[in-house]
């Protein structure tokens, strides 16, 4: 126990008498103080820590001399090689006091060869070397439960009556060193053949796994294919690949997976050779190890023109400027009315030109508004004050008009930044589609249907967390699928990669695709100015995909450690840099943008409402004239 780090609980499942158990308890508590707790139990499988959250802290002690210990070990299943540590004794004879007299010969542990002591097991057994009569501490393991090769035996140290367990020193190491981790000691697989399952969506990729031809096709599989070969090389193993057409999705009726996860679940593969998304429903069948590829699946689109999302005719000025401008027009109209009425009252000027209708506020406001639109003034000023007022209006409104016109030209050519969320995309006029892949069809189309069927068949309330989160189960995402992806005629916008990228280039189209693959085609097919304004929008809200192995696999730790080394040494980054394309840089600047109907649509709407208001007022005036002629007396009536 002294050499077993992280071990805080000793579970003794033996047939020893009480005096021997007390002696063991006394020895453990005196040597390790209160750091380790001891629990005694019968030799029964129900006492094993099947559901203990701290299995890695448990050490199980058994004695092969006790009845039913062999059945206990055979029924331990994955606990023999996963997380739990074991100490196996084989007491030879017992004295009159009930204490063991010694341990069995090392050649008499043939029973262990029939147990699934796989690579990751930490089962220690004590035996006596027949040649030297030394008491040895050993471990043995096999790389596969069905492996025809003999078990590999490790002699870790010896037991001495005065010193206890003494670990053997390795080359260049002092005696009594700390016990190295299992994954550190067992790094040589001796050309053992690992089985890896690879997801391949295009058969042509099988001919280009080791080159860069069409690297935008099955990119994630090709990156992880190279990393899997590097794992095998680092562990001195070989690897046999099998190819499937799906990552694997659960059938709620059979609770079995298809595709790559199905092969891991059925023990047809040791390694999941293609990284996959982290979802809660898969945790029960696979172990996620490390993020190997920065794969991101997003909506990619060219930012539409600002006029596509906003009314550019109100954007040049802030609200405060608009309020000041309107206030200036009203104030100028009122002052102009006062000045004109003063001129008429005091008959400033000479001649018949002063005779005319009385100046009204509506005329003055109309005159100032025309001046604002650079239409000139139809009012002839007579006095110095009126001339100064009109001149002031012309100058001030000229500067406002120049600023407004310049801003309008710039805004028409500016991209919009309004589409930042899925809700913005849903309410926008952008069309949407997705690359025709297995995972896109699942997350957009199949997942919500499976969830609904499961609820109907089982007639229970299923927690939404049991299925992949952040996709169709949310209202906005569901609405996005129903209104943008699925058409009214029942067809769906699942497009080939090249067709989807071309739709992005044409504009006003959001394409759900793996961004690294998409950017490769964009770099090759877009003009330089078309690469500007590219935006991404996250739909799945997933973290980077993980490399995975079968649940409770004995290869979990060596593969995980090797993946971390590949990342630290830069090999993982190199493979990703070779096959993934980064977002193109905008170096071409902006190009000429023709004005379309969308740009002037607010002006056309204003013109249309103006025509409608004019016609309505004309009809009202005609009706008023007719009604007034019938209801009110005419001039002939008064003459009589």
Domain segments of the chain as ranges: 9-185, 193-295, 311-412, 417-543, 601-639
Higher pLDDT, 245 or 374: 245
The percent of the chain in helix, strand and coil, each rounded to the nearest 5, is 45, 20, 40
Evaluate whether 63 touches 69 at the Cβ level (below 8 Å). Answer: yes
Q: What average pLDDT score do residues 247-258 get?
A: 88
Superfamily of domain 193-295 in the CATH hierarchy: Periplasmic binding protein-like II (3.40.190.10)
Evaluate whether 427 touches 537 at the Cβ level (below 8 Å). Answer: no
Residue 430: CB atoms within 10 A of its CB come to: 21
Distance CA 6, CA 614 (A): 87
Q: Which of 173, 188, 168, 154 is nearest to 3 (CA)?
A: 168
What percentage of the chain exceeds 90 in pLDDT?
21
pLDDT in tens, 370-400: 777 777 667 777 778 878 888 888 888 888 8
Treating both helix axes as pointing N-terminal to C-terminal, what angle do 571-579 and 556-568 enclose, rounded to 10 degrees?
70
35 band by pLDDT with thresholds 50, 70 and 90: low
217 band by pLDDT with thresholds 50, 70 and 90: confident
Evaluate whether 1 touches 28 at the Cβ level (below 8 Å). Answer: yes
Between the two ends of the chain, the Cα-to-Cα distance in Å is 132
**Cβ burial 552-569 (10 Å sphere, 16+ → b, else e):** bbbbbbbbbbbbeebeee
Residue 156: CB atoms within 10 A of its CB come to: 17
Evaluate whether 433 touches 486 at the Cβ level (below 8 Å). Answer: no
Q: Measured between alpha carbons, how far is residue 288 from residues 71, 236, 368, 563 in Å?
A: 32, 23, 72, 12
Residue 279: CB atoms within 10 A of its CB come to: 21
Residue 302's DSSP bridge partners are 534
**Tokens found for residue 401:** 């008009």
pLDDT in tens, 529-538: 888 889 999 8
**Tokens found for residue 250:** 């659960």
In 458-518 the beta strands, taken as DSSP E runs, fall at 494-495, 509-514
Instruction: Flag the least confident range among 153-157, 546-550, 629-633.
Output: 629-633
CB contact set of 435 (below 8 Å; sequence gap of 6+): 494, 495, 496, 497, 500, 511, 512, 513, 514
Check pLDDT > 50 for residue 457.
no
Tokens 């002006």 appear where? Answer: 603
Q: pTM of the full predicted structure?
A: 0.71
Distance CA 295, CA 544 (A): 6
pLDDT of residue 240: 95
pLDDT of residue 57: 85
Distance CA 454, CA 472 (A): 15
Strands of the 122-128 sheet, one edge to the other: 37-41, 9-13, 58-63, 85-89, 122-128, 135-141, 152-160, 164-167
pLDDT of residue 243: 95
**Tokens found for residue 32:** 């390790």
pLDDT, the chain, mean:
81
- Is domain 9-185 in CATH 3.55.50, yes or no? no
pLDDT of residue 639: 57
411 band by pLDDT with thresholds 50, 70 and 90: confident
**Tokens found for residue 33:** 């103080």
pLDDT in tens, 557-566: 999 999 999 9
Higher pLDDT, 34 or 207: 207
pLDDT in tens, 445-456: 665 454 444 444
Q: What average pLDDT score do residues 595-603 get?
A: 79
**Tokens found for residue 628:** 């007034």
pLDDT of residue 292: 92
């Amino acid at each position: 126990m002294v050499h077993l780090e992280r071990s805080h609980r000793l579970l003794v499942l033996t047939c020893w008498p009480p005096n021997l158990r007390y002696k063991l308890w006394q020895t453990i508590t005196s040597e390790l103080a209160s750091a380790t707790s001891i629990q005694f139990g019968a030799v029964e499988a129900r006492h094993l820590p099947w559901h203990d959250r701290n299995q890695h802290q448990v050490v199980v002690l058994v004695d092969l001399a006790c009845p039913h210990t062999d059945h206990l070990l055979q029924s331990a299943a994955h606990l023999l090689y996963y997380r739990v540590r074991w100490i196996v004794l084989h007491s030879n004879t017992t004295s009159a006091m009930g204490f063991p007299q010694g341990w069995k010969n090392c050649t008499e542990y043939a029973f262990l060869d029939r147990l699934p002591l796989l690579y990751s097991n930490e089962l220690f057994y004590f035996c006596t070397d027949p040649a030297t009569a030394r008491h040895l501490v050993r471990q043995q393991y096999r790389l596969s439960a069905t492996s025809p090769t003999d078990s590999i035996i490790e002699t870790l140290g010896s037991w001495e009556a005065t010193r206890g367990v003494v670990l053997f020193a390795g080359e260049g190491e002092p005696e009594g060193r700390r016990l190295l981790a299992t994954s550190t000691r067992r790094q040589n697989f001796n050309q053992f053949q690992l089985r890896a399952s690879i997801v391949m969506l295009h058969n042509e990729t099988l001919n280009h796994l080791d080159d860069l031809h069409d690297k935008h096709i099955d990119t994630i599989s090709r990156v992880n294919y190279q990393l899997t070969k590097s794992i095998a090389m680092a562990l001195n193993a070989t690897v046999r690949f099998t190819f499937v057409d799906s990552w694997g999705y659960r059938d709620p009726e059979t609770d079995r997976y298809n595709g790559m996860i199905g092969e891991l679940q059925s023990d047809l593969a040791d390694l999941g050779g293609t990284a996959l998304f982290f979802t809660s429903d898969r945790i029960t069948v696979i172990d996620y190890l490390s993020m190997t590829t920065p794969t991101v699946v997003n909506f990619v689109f060219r930012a539409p023109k600002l006029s596509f999302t906003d009314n550019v005719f109100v954007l040049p000025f802030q609200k405060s400027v608009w309020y000041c401008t309107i206030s200036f027009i009203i104030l100028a109209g009122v002052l102009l009315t006062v000045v004109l009425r003063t001129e008429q009252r005091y008959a400033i000027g000479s001649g018949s030109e002063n005779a005319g209708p009385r100046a009204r506020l509506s005329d003055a406001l109309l005159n100032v508004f025309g001046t604002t639109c650079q239409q000139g003034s139809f009012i002839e000023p007579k006095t110095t004050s009126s001339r100064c007022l009109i001149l002031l209006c012309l100058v001030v409104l000229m500067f406002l008009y120049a600023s407004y016109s310049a801003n309008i030209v710039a805004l028409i050519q500016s991209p919009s930044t309004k589409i930042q969320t899925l809700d913005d995309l849903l309410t926008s006029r952008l069309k949407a589609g997705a690359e025709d892949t297995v995972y896109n069809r699942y997350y957009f189309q199949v997942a919500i249907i499976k969830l609904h069927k499961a609820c109907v068949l089982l007639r229970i309330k299923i927690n939404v967390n049991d299925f992949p989160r952040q996709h169709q189960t949310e209202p906005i995402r569901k609405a996005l699928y129903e209104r943008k992806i699925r058409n009214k005629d029942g067809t769906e916008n699942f497009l080939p990669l090249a067709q989807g990228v071309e739709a992005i280039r044409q504009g006003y189209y959001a394409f759900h695709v793996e961004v690294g693959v998409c950017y490769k085609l964009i770099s090759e097919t877009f003009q330089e100015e078309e690469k500007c304004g590219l935006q991404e929008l996250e739909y799945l809200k997933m973290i980077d995909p993980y490399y995975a192995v079968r649940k409770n696999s004995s290869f979990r730790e060596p593969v995980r450690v090797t993946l971390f080394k590949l990342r630290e040494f830069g090999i993982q980054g190199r493979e990703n840099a070779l096959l993934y394309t980064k977002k193109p840089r905008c170096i071409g600047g902006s190009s000429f943008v023709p004005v379309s109907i969308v740009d002037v649509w607010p002006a056309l709407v204003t013109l249309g409402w103006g025509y409608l208001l004019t016609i309505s007022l004309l009809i009202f005036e005609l009706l008023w004239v007719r009604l007034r002629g019938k209801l009110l007396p005419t001039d002939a009536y008064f003459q009589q």
